[in-house]
Structure 1
Amino acid sequence: MSFENLKPLVSSILTKENTTRDEKLLAVCQLLTDSIDYYNWVGYYFANHETKTLHLGPYVGAETDHTVIPFGKGICGQVAESNANFVVPDVKAQDNYIACSFTVKSEIVVPLFVEGKNIGQIDIDSHVIDPFTEADERFLEFVNQEVAKLFL
Protein backbone atom coordinates (compact mmCIF):
# COMPACT_ATOMS: atom_id res chain seq x y z
CA MET A 1 0.00 0.00 0.00
CA SER A 2 1.32 3.46 -0.87
CA PHE A 3 2.26 5.99 1.77
CA GLU A 4 -0.46 8.32 0.47
CA ASN A 5 -3.06 5.58 0.94
CA LEU A 6 -1.79 4.86 4.45
CA LYS A 7 -2.03 8.47 5.68
CA PRO A 8 -5.84 8.54 6.15
CA LEU A 9 -5.69 5.13 7.83
CA VAL A 10 -3.09 6.41 10.31
CA SER A 11 -5.20 9.50 11.02
CA SER A 12 -8.30 7.35 11.48
CA ILE A 13 -6.57 5.11 14.03
CA LEU A 14 -5.23 8.08 15.98
CA THR A 15 -8.60 9.85 16.21
CA LYS A 16 -10.57 6.75 17.18
CA GLU A 17 -12.63 7.31 20.32
CA ASN A 18 -12.70 5.01 23.36
CA THR A 19 -9.15 3.84 22.69
CA THR A 20 -6.13 4.53 24.88
CA ARG A 21 -3.05 6.27 23.56
CA ASP A 22 -1.03 3.04 23.79
CA GLU A 23 -3.73 1.11 21.93
CA LYS A 24 -3.65 3.71 19.17
CA LEU A 25 0.15 3.60 18.94
CA LEU A 26 0.12 -0.19 18.84
CA ALA A 27 -2.50 -0.11 16.07
CA VAL A 28 -0.33 2.30 14.04
CA CYS A 29 2.70 0.03 14.52
CA GLN A 30 0.61 -2.94 13.38
CA LEU A 31 -0.71 -1.07 10.34
CA LEU A 32 2.80 -0.10 9.25
CA THR A 33 4.17 -3.61 9.79
CA ASP A 34 1.27 -5.16 7.87
CA SER A 35 1.30 -2.63 5.02
CA ILE A 36 4.98 -2.10 4.23
CA ASP A 37 6.81 -5.34 3.54
CA TYR A 38 10.26 -4.08 4.60
CA TYR A 39 9.01 -2.70 7.96
CA ASN A 40 9.81 -5.75 10.10
CA TRP A 41 9.86 -4.14 13.56
CA VAL A 42 7.99 -0.92 14.32
CA GLY A 43 7.91 0.68 17.73
CA TYR A 44 8.00 3.82 19.81
CA TYR A 45 10.54 4.90 22.39
CA PHE A 46 9.74 7.77 24.77
CA ALA A 47 12.26 10.10 26.37
CA ASN A 48 12.80 10.70 30.04
CA HIS A 49 14.83 13.90 29.92
CA GLU A 50 15.63 13.82 33.65
CA THR A 51 17.40 10.44 33.43
CA LYS A 52 18.47 10.96 29.79
CA THR A 53 17.00 7.60 28.79
CA LEU A 54 14.54 6.28 26.22
CA HIS A 55 11.85 3.84 27.30
CA LEU A 56 10.19 1.31 25.02
CA GLY A 57 6.54 1.95 24.30
CA PRO A 58 4.13 0.06 22.06
CA TYR A 59 5.76 -1.98 19.29
CA VAL A 60 5.11 -4.77 16.82
CA GLY A 61 7.79 -7.30 15.96
CA ALA A 62 10.26 -9.58 17.68
CA GLU A 63 10.73 -9.09 21.40
CA THR A 64 13.62 -6.84 22.36
CA ASP A 65 15.83 -6.63 25.43
CA HIS A 66 16.35 -2.94 24.69
CA THR A 67 13.59 -1.52 26.84
CA VAL A 68 15.73 1.34 28.20
CA ILE A 69 18.35 3.07 26.02
CA PRO A 70 20.65 5.83 27.29
CA PHE A 71 20.75 9.03 25.25
CA GLY A 72 23.67 8.82 22.82
CA LYS A 73 23.75 5.00 22.67
CA GLY A 74 22.74 3.27 19.48
CA ILE A 75 20.73 4.84 16.69
CA CYS A 76 17.77 5.68 18.94
CA GLY A 77 20.00 7.24 21.58
CA GLN A 78 21.74 9.35 18.96
CA VAL A 79 18.40 10.64 17.64
CA ALA A 80 17.43 11.59 21.21
CA GLU A 81 20.43 13.93 21.20
CA SER A 82 20.52 15.09 17.58
CA ASN A 83 16.76 15.68 17.13
CA ALA A 84 17.24 14.58 13.52
CA ASN A 85 16.11 11.64 11.42
CA PHE A 86 18.68 8.86 11.20
CA VAL A 87 18.63 6.38 8.32
CA VAL A 88 21.04 3.45 8.55
CA PRO A 89 21.25 1.63 5.20
CA ASP A 90 23.42 -1.17 6.67
CA VAL A 91 23.62 -1.61 10.45
CA LYS A 92 26.91 -3.52 10.13
CA ALA A 93 28.54 -0.30 8.92
CA GLN A 94 27.52 1.62 12.07
CA ASP A 95 29.95 1.80 14.98
CA ASN A 96 27.39 2.95 17.55
CA TYR A 97 24.70 0.37 16.73
CA ILE A 98 22.91 -1.74 19.34
CA ALA A 99 22.31 -5.14 17.76
CA CYS A 100 18.75 -6.29 18.33
CA SER A 101 18.76 -9.34 16.11
CA PHE A 102 20.98 -10.83 13.43
CA THR A 103 18.02 -10.50 11.04
CA VAL A 104 18.07 -6.68 11.24
CA LYS A 105 19.94 -5.22 8.27
CA SER A 106 18.84 -1.56 8.31
CA GLU A 107 17.06 0.94 10.51
CA ILE A 108 15.28 4.28 10.37
CA VAL A 109 14.51 6.45 13.39
CA VAL A 110 12.41 9.62 13.21
CA PRO A 111 12.01 11.88 16.26
CA LEU A 112 8.62 12.72 17.71
CA PHE A 113 8.20 16.40 18.59
CA VAL A 114 5.46 17.87 20.75
CA GLU A 115 5.45 21.67 20.91
CA GLY A 116 9.06 21.70 19.70
CA LYS A 117 10.35 19.18 22.27
CA ASN A 118 11.67 15.75 21.26
CA ILE A 119 9.57 13.42 23.45
CA GLY A 120 10.46 10.19 21.67
CA GLN A 121 10.74 8.52 18.31
CA ILE A 122 9.44 5.92 15.95
CA ASP A 123 12.00 3.20 15.29
CA ILE A 124 11.78 0.81 12.36
CA ASP A 125 14.03 -2.16 11.66
CA SER A 126 14.18 -3.95 8.34
CA HIS A 127 15.51 -7.34 7.29
CA VAL A 128 16.54 -5.74 3.98
CA ILE A 129 19.69 -3.72 3.32
CA ASP A 130 19.05 -0.09 2.31
CA PRO A 131 15.27 -0.08 1.76
CA PHE A 132 14.51 3.33 3.27
CA THR A 133 14.10 6.37 1.03
CA GLU A 134 13.27 10.01 1.50
CA ALA A 135 9.64 8.99 0.97
CA ASP A 136 9.85 6.83 4.11
CA GLU A 137 11.24 9.78 6.06
CA ARG A 138 8.48 12.15 4.91
CA PHE A 139 5.80 9.54 5.64
CA LEU A 140 7.13 8.81 9.12
CA GLU A 141 7.35 12.54 9.82
CA PHE A 142 3.66 12.72 8.91
CA VAL A 143 2.90 9.77 11.21
CA ASN A 144 4.71 11.47 14.08
CA GLN A 145 2.95 14.80 13.45
CA GLU A 146 -0.33 12.93 13.80
CA VAL A 147 0.88 11.03 16.89
CA ALA A 148 2.01 14.29 18.49
CA LYS A 149 -1.64 15.38 18.67
CA LEU A 150 -2.20 12.62 21.24
CA PHE A 151 0.13 14.44 23.64
CA LEU A 152 -1.38 17.92 23.41
Structure 2
Amino acid sequence: MDTNTLKNKIESIISLNDTKEFILQAICDLLESEISYYDWVGFYFKNGDKNELKLAQYTGEETEHTIIPFGKGICGQVAVSNKNFVVQDVSEQENYISCGWKVKSEIVIPIFVNEENIGQIDIDSHTANVFTDKDEELLEYICKKVAKILE
Protein backbone atom coordinates (compact mmCIF):
# COMPACT_ATOMS: atom_id res chain seq x y z
CA MET A 1 0.00 0.00 0.00
CA ASP A 2 1.42 3.35 -1.07
CA THR A 3 -0.04 5.66 1.56
CA ASN A 4 1.32 8.84 -0.01
CA THR A 5 -0.41 8.13 -3.31
CA LEU A 6 -3.63 7.28 -1.49
CA LYS A 7 -3.41 10.47 0.59
CA ASN A 8 -3.01 12.50 -2.61
CA LYS A 9 -6.06 10.79 -4.12
CA ILE A 10 -8.04 11.49 -0.95
CA GLU A 11 -6.98 15.15 -1.11
CA SER A 12 -8.22 15.30 -4.71
CA ILE A 13 -11.59 13.82 -3.75
CA ILE A 14 -12.03 16.15 -0.77
CA SER A 15 -11.14 19.19 -2.88
CA LEU A 16 -14.01 18.43 -5.27
CA ASN A 17 -16.75 20.99 -5.06
CA ASP A 18 -19.46 18.40 -4.47
CA THR A 19 -21.82 17.19 -1.74
CA LYS A 20 -20.56 15.57 1.43
CA GLU A 21 -22.40 12.40 0.43
CA PHE A 22 -20.63 12.27 -2.94
CA ILE A 23 -17.23 12.81 -1.33
CA LEU A 24 -17.80 10.14 1.35
CA GLN A 25 -18.96 7.64 -1.28
CA ALA A 26 -15.94 8.43 -3.46
CA ILE A 27 -13.63 7.78 -0.49
CA CYS A 28 -15.33 4.42 0.18
CA ASP A 29 -15.05 3.44 -3.48
CA LEU A 30 -11.40 4.50 -3.69
CA LEU A 31 -10.30 2.57 -0.60
CA GLU A 32 -12.17 -0.59 -1.57
CA SER A 33 -10.74 -0.54 -5.09
CA GLU A 34 -7.15 0.41 -4.16
CA ILE A 35 -6.54 -1.81 -1.12
CA SER A 36 -7.08 -5.46 -1.94
CA TYR A 37 -7.99 -6.56 1.59
CA TYR A 38 -10.55 -3.77 2.19
CA ASP A 39 -13.67 -5.78 1.37
CA TRP A 40 -16.23 -3.45 2.96
CA VAL A 41 -15.71 0.26 3.60
CA GLY A 42 -18.31 2.49 5.22
CA PHE A 43 -19.09 5.50 7.33
CA TYR A 44 -21.35 5.47 10.37
CA PHE A 45 -22.51 8.68 12.06
CA LYS A 46 -24.26 9.50 15.31
CA ASN A 47 -28.00 9.34 14.67
CA GLY A 48 -29.22 12.73 15.92
CA ASP A 49 -29.58 12.79 19.70
CA LYS A 50 -29.91 9.02 19.95
CA ASN A 51 -27.19 6.82 21.42
CA GLU A 52 -26.80 4.95 18.17
CA LEU A 53 -24.94 5.04 14.89
CA LYS A 54 -26.58 5.20 11.49
CA LEU A 55 -24.98 3.83 8.34
CA ALA A 56 -24.19 6.45 5.73
CA GLN A 57 -22.13 5.86 2.58
CA TYR A 58 -20.49 2.47 2.04
CA THR A 59 -19.03 0.14 -0.56
CA GLY A 60 -19.30 -3.64 -0.36
CA GLU A 61 -21.98 -6.18 0.37
CA GLU A 62 -25.25 -4.88 1.80
CA THR A 63 -25.52 -5.04 5.57
CA GLU A 64 -28.53 -5.32 7.83
CA HIS A 65 -26.61 -3.29 10.42
CA THR A 66 -27.84 0.14 9.39
CA ILE A 67 -28.43 1.16 13.03
CA ILE A 68 -25.92 0.17 15.73
CA PRO A 69 -26.53 0.98 19.42
CA PHE A 70 -23.64 2.59 21.29
CA GLY A 71 -21.59 -0.11 23.00
CA LYS A 72 -22.68 -2.91 20.65
CA GLY A 73 -20.17 -4.47 18.26
CA ILE A 74 -16.87 -2.91 17.27
CA CYS A 75 -18.47 0.27 15.89
CA GLY A 76 -20.66 0.74 18.95
CA GLN A 77 -17.66 0.29 21.24
CA VAL A 78 -15.69 2.97 19.34
CA ALA A 79 -18.67 5.33 19.73
CA VAL A 80 -18.26 4.96 23.52
CA SER A 81 -14.46 4.65 23.88
CA ASN A 82 -13.52 7.37 21.34
CA LYS A 83 -10.50 5.22 20.43
CA ASN A 84 -9.36 3.29 17.38
CA PHE A 85 -10.27 -0.39 17.48
CA VAL A 86 -8.30 -2.90 15.41
CA VAL A 87 -9.60 -6.47 15.51
CA GLN A 88 -7.27 -8.88 13.77
CA ASP A 89 -9.58 -11.89 14.31
CA VAL A 90 -13.27 -11.16 14.85
CA SER A 91 -13.86 -14.70 16.17
CA GLU A 92 -11.94 -13.70 19.29
CA GLN A 93 -14.31 -10.80 20.10
CA GLU A 94 -17.28 -11.49 22.35
CA ASN A 95 -18.96 -8.15 21.59
CA TYR A 96 -18.92 -8.47 17.81
CA ILE A 97 -21.78 -7.99 15.35
CA SER A 98 -21.27 -10.33 12.42
CA CYS A 99 -21.81 -8.65 9.08
CA GLY A 100 -21.22 -11.90 7.23
CA TRP A 101 -19.40 -15.18 7.51
CA LYS A 102 -16.59 -13.96 5.25
CA VAL A 103 -15.48 -11.14 7.59
CA LYS A 104 -12.32 -12.11 9.46
CA SER A 105 -10.96 -8.75 10.68
CA GLU A 106 -12.16 -5.19 11.21
CA ILE A 107 -10.73 -1.75 11.88
CA VAL A 108 -12.77 1.22 13.09
CA ILE A 109 -11.42 4.77 13.46
CA PRO A 110 -13.49 7.59 15.03
CA ILE A 111 -14.11 10.95 13.39
CA PHE A 112 -13.95 14.01 15.66
CA VAL A 113 -15.47 17.42 14.97
CA ASN A 114 -14.76 20.02 17.66
CA GLU A 115 -13.42 17.22 19.87
CA GLU A 116 -16.74 15.33 19.66
CA ASN A 117 -16.94 11.81 18.23
CA ILE A 118 -19.53 12.27 15.48
CA GLY A 119 -18.90 9.09 13.51
CA GLN A 120 -16.37 6.66 12.19
CA ILE A 121 -14.94 4.84 9.24
CA ASP A 122 -15.37 1.07 9.37
CA ILE A 123 -13.36 -1.41 7.29
CA ASP A 124 -14.05 -5.15 7.11
CA SER A 125 -11.64 -7.65 5.60
CA HIS A 126 -12.12 -11.25 4.54
CA THR A 127 -8.53 -11.86 5.67
CA ALA A 128 -7.51 -12.30 9.32
CA ASN A 129 -4.49 -10.53 10.83
CA VAL A 130 -4.22 -8.13 7.90
CA PHE A 131 -4.29 -4.61 9.36
CA THR A 132 -1.05 -2.79 10.15
CA ASP A 133 0.00 0.54 11.61
CA LYS A 134 -0.03 1.88 8.03
CA ASP A 135 -3.76 1.16 7.78
CA GLU A 136 -4.43 2.88 11.08
CA GLU A 137 -2.34 5.90 10.12
CA LEU A 138 -4.00 6.23 6.69
CA LEU A 139 -7.50 5.95 8.15
CA GLU A 140 -6.72 8.49 10.89
CA TYR A 141 -5.54 10.87 8.17
CA ILE A 142 -8.76 10.30 6.21
CA CYS A 143 -10.91 10.87 9.31
CA LYS A 144 -9.17 14.19 10.00
CA LYS A 145 -9.77 15.30 6.40
CA VAL A 146 -13.42 14.15 6.50
CA ALA A 147 -13.94 16.01 9.79
CA LYS A 148 -13.05 19.28 8.05
CA ILE A 149 -15.80 18.89 5.46
CA LEU A 150 -18.32 17.94 8.17
CA GLU A 151 -17.68 20.93 10.45
Q: TM-score range by the shorter chain?
A: over 0.9
- Single out whichever of 75-84 and 40-49 deviates more from structure 2: 40-49
Over the aligned positions, Cα root-mean-square deviation in angstroms equals: 0.8
| Distance in 2 separating the partners of 1:107 and 1:49 | 25
The residue correspondences of 1:13-92 to structure 2 (distance < 5 A) are: 13-17=13-17, 19-48=18-47, 50-92=49-91
Unaligned segments of structure 2, at least 5 residues: none
| Distance in 2 separating the partners of 1:47 and 1:70 | 10
| Distance in 1 separating the partners of 2:47 and 2:118 | 8
Letter in 2 for 1:64: T
| Distance in 1 separating the partners of 2:109 and 2:16 | 23
| Distance in 2 separating the partners of 1:151 and 1:103 | 32
Aligned twin of 2:10: 10
Could you list the structure 1 runs, at least 4 aligned residues long, displaced by more than 3 angstroms after superposition.
none
| Distance in 1 separating the partners of 2:142 and 2:150 | 14
Task: Compute the TM-score of the two structures, normalised by the length of structure 2.
Answer: 0.98
| Distance in 1 separating the partners of 2:12 and 2:31 | 14
Task: Compute the TM-score of the two structures, normalised by the length of structure 1.
Answer: 0.97
| Distance in 2 separating the partners of 1:114 and 1:52 | 17
| Distance in 1 separating the partners of 2:82 and 2:133 | 17
What is the number of equivalent residue pairs in this alignment? 151
| Distance in 2 separating the partners of 1:139 and 1:34 | 15
Overall identity of the aligned pairs, in %: 54
